[in-house]
Amino acid sequence: MDLKSGEQQQDIVVPPPRPPFSSNPPRLLVIGAGSRGRAYARAVNSSTNGVLVAVAEPDDYKRAQFGKTMIWGATTPPPEGAEFKDWRDFITYESSRRARVEAGEENVPLGVDAVFVCVLDEMHREVVVALGKLGGLHIMCEKPLATTLNDCIDMYAALRSNMVAGDRQGVFSIGHVLRYSPHNILLRKLLLEDRVIGDILSVVHTEPVGWWHFTHSYVRGNWRREDTSAPSLLTKSCHDIDVLLWLLCSPPDCAAKDCPPPHLPSTVTSIGSLQYFKRNRKPQGAGGATNCLFCPIEKSCKYSAKRIYVGPELVGLGTGNKGWPISILVPDIESYGSEKEAEAAVLAELARDYGGNTPDPEVARQNWFGRCVYESDNDVCDEQVVTMSWDEDAEYSQGRGAKTATFHMVAQTQRVCERYTNVYGVDGEIYADSKVIKVQDFNTGQTTVHQPRIESLGHGGGDAGLTRQFVLAVDKVKNHGWSTDRAQKELVGTTIDEIIRSHAMVFCAEVARREKKVIDWPTWWSSEVESKLATLS
């Protein structure tokens, strides 16, 4: 990176090395071999001291490919207990396996120590609750925790009662990967430990989703409808809200014995809507076309599905890409022998469409990636702003003054999920993006540029960081005598209570947006969450 006059370069922050393996390393199961399941699996194999031993996935091709590339290899058949078509099959098998061990049967395969839950968002509650009832397993669940607040509370109860060896509550982690990137770890240290800009007064954080990426996931894809998924603030940005609370609520060292309580917000409000991807924005030249392949202006439309998924400009087959998002359309795209065959398979998927007589449940249950973005059944916000405010906490003075945080999720951007943040303090300001952290000191006039090394492309190293910390926590509990409470706080770095709080903040913001009001956070938390949690005690 080129430095401007007056700027100083700080040492590049290097991510930690892969932890050493114990003699009996953590054995791991991945439930859901989609893009997130594969991302965590790659991180397990590259950045942790755990071993992937099993996969549960209903799609035969995905399951086989995952197993061959991540677990048992291309030339050997899967061993007993290594593959399951359904997560329920694993529950049944594991219950039986434990009974065989209890009965003294010899040569029973080893079980798993921990599970990565990477199924569709709306399935999280069912899977995690079932795993909690089975007991004995540490759990990492992809974000969001669940798609409703009540489901989050049900999962909280199941996780609190999930006991592992020694009658201790199992380690739990959530896919809030932004906490684990070297970039955000350094940003938090600079703000809370080094206090390079003194007390924080305000934060403005932006998630630019990307103009074509938003259409893939939130207009044509899995997360386009609230009734089958959830609001886009939850499905896309719950970990952005979480990272803001991590920076502004949580004490610098949450594992310290004298750790003060979190500094909680006082008010929450939000505005947002589906501004653009709807029928009244459709270009006149498109006429009555509902599918890109049969549209008279397809070649001139930037949202053309053919351009996005087949062409040479963005992420289509023409760029040589057969990974995400192409593999979402055609999961077995790698199995096609020629580029012509692969293109034909993608075009066949894009040609699928529905008419006015198609029952809505049929429309809702699948994705329509060739559908016109102005004629889709999407209803989630494509732009939203959330504002949180904090009152001064007189009991704990340093770092707990009045402050505000503003989060902006926007679809129409050139950047694709390359978040950026401005933090304003009494002694300086910080600009941070996915590559640099620039600190401007008001007292000295000096500008210092920090450049954390990106460990991997997955959320700036957050995928690898989260996976490493979770597996390391499991290893410490399994092999090194750590309590799960210690591993949870020191290695995972968050608690189930914090996870519930950040999700509740998203649901609170949605209430504020729909009802067009400013919500008193302590009152809302008490009535909507705390009272329900109390009934679970």
Q: Residue 511: what pLDDT?
A: 98
Distance between CA atoms of residues 77 and 382, nearest Å = 46
268 with 283, same domain?
no
Q: Residue 7: what pLDDT?
A: 65
pLDDT digits (tens, 9 = 90+) for 425-445: 999 999 999 889 999 999 999
Q: Are 159 and 130 contacting, i.e. CB atoms less than 8 angstroms apart?
A: no
Q: Say whether the peptide bond before residue 77 is cis (omega within 30 degrees of 0).
A: no
Q: Is residue 473 part of a domain?
A: no
Distance between CA atoms of residues 287 and 174, nearest Å = 45
Q: Which residues contact 35 (CB under 8 A, 6 or more apart)?
A: 324, 327, 328
Q: Is residue 470 part of a domain?
A: no
Q: Are 470 and 176 contacting, i.e. CB atoms less than 8 angstroms apart?
A: no
Paired strand residues for 121: none
Q: Among the three residues 176, 211, 227, which one is the final residue of a domain in this structure?
A: 176
pLDDT digits (tens, 9 = 90+) for 19-60: 999 999 999 999 999 999 999 999 999 999 999 999 999 999
Residue 111: band (very low, low, confident or very high) from pLDDT cuts 50, 70, 90: very high
Per-residue pLDDT for 16 more than 80? no
442 with 358, same domain?
no
Q: Residue 4: what pLDDT?
A: 64
67 with 125, same domain?
yes
pLDDT digits (tens, 9 = 90+) for 407-430: 999 999 999 999 999 999 999 999
Residue 257: band (very low, low, confident or very high) from pLDDT cuts 50, 70, 90: confident
Residue 13: band (very low, low, confident or very high) from pLDDT cuts 50, 70, 90: low
* Host domain of residue 33: 27-176
| Mean per-residue pLDDT, 367-371 | 98
93 with 137, same domain?
yes
Q: Are 190 and 437 contacting, i.e. CB atoms less than 8 angstroms apart?
A: yes
96 with 31, same domain?
yes
| Mean per-residue pLDDT, 294-309 | 98
> What CATH number is given to the structural domain containing 239?
3.30.360.10
Q: Residue 77: what pLDDT?
A: 92
Q: Is residue 421 part of a domain?
A: yes
What amino acid is encoded at 259 in this protein? C
Picking from 357, 351, 344, 356, the residue whose alpha carbon sits closest to that of residue 371 is 351
| Mean per-residue pLDDT, 226-239 | 96
Per-residue pLDDT for 388 more than 90? yes
Per-residue pLDDT for 209 more than 90? yes
Q: Is residue 105 part of a domain?
A: yes
Q: Which residues contact 427 (CB under 8 A, 6 or more apart)?
A: 196, 197, 198, 441, 442, 443
Using CA atoms, how far residue 489 sits from 71, 307, 419, in Å, is 30, 47, 26
Q: Among the three residues 176, 209, 230, which one is the final residue of a domain in this structure?
A: 176
Percent of the chain with pLDDT strictly greater than 70: 95
Instruction: Enter the DSSP assignment of 190.
Output: I
432 with 315, same domain?
no
| Mean per-residue pLDDT, 250-276 | 88
Q: Is residue 16 part of a domain?
A: no
Q: Is residue 263 part of a domain?
A: yes
Residue 12: band (very low, low, confident or very high) from pLDDT cuts 50, 70, 90: low
416 with 499, same domain?
yes
Picking from 139, 194, 200, the residue whose alpha carbon sits closest to that of residue 170 is 139
Distance between CA atoms of residues 48 and 149, nearest Å = 32
Q: Say whether the peptide bond before residue 109 is cis (omega within 30 degrees of 0).
A: no
Q: Which two tokens stand for residue 323?
A: 């990974």
Q: Is residue 136 part of a domain?
A: yes
- By three-state DSSP, how is residue 281 classified? helix
Distance between CA atoms of residues 247 and 461, nearest Å = 18
Percent of the chain with pLDDT strictly greater than 90: 86
Q: How many CB atoms lie within 10 A of CB 383?
A: 18
* Lowest-pLDDT choice from 142-156, 182-196, 246-260, 287-301: 246-260
Q: What is the pTM of this model?
A: 0.93
Residue 138: band (very low, low, confident or very high) from pLDDT cuts 50, 70, 90: very high
- By three-state DSSP, how is residue 383 classified? strand
pLDDT digits (tens, 9 = 90+) for 495-515: 999 999 999 999 999 999 999
Per-residue pLDDT for 165 more than 80? yes
Picking from 391, 383, 385, 396, the residue whose alpha carbon sits closest to that of residue 521 is 391
- 420-425 and 428-432: which strand pairing? antiparallel
330 with 241, same domain?
no
Q: Among the three residues 364, 392, 408, which one is the final residue of a domain in this structure?
A: 364
Mean pLDDT of the chain: 93
Q: Which residues contact 5 (CB under 8 A, 6 or more apart)?
A: none
Instruction: Enter the DSSP assignment of 218.
Output: I
Beta strands in 433-502 (DSSP E): 437-441, 447-450
74 with 91, same domain?
yes
- 51-56 and 27-31: which strand pairing? parallel
Q: Which two tokens stand for residue 307?
A: 């351009």
Paired strand residues for 203: 405, 423
216 with 295, same domain?
no
Distance between CA atoms of residues 486 and 69, nearest Å = 34
Q: Residue 3: what pLDDT?
A: 59
Q: Residue 9: what pLDDT?
A: 66
> What CATH number is given to the structural domain containing 100?
3.40.50.720
Domain count, the chain: 3
Distance between CA atoms of residues 514 and 361, nearest Å = 25
Specify the higher pLDDT residue, 457 or 124.
124
Q: Is residue 389 part of a domain?
A: yes
220 with 324, same domain?
no
Distance between CA atoms of residues 422 and 104, nearest Å = 61
222 with 301, same domain?
no
Q: Residue 395: what pLDDT?
A: 80
Using CA atoms, how far residue 328 sits from 13, 36, 306, 325, in Å, is 34, 12, 15, 5
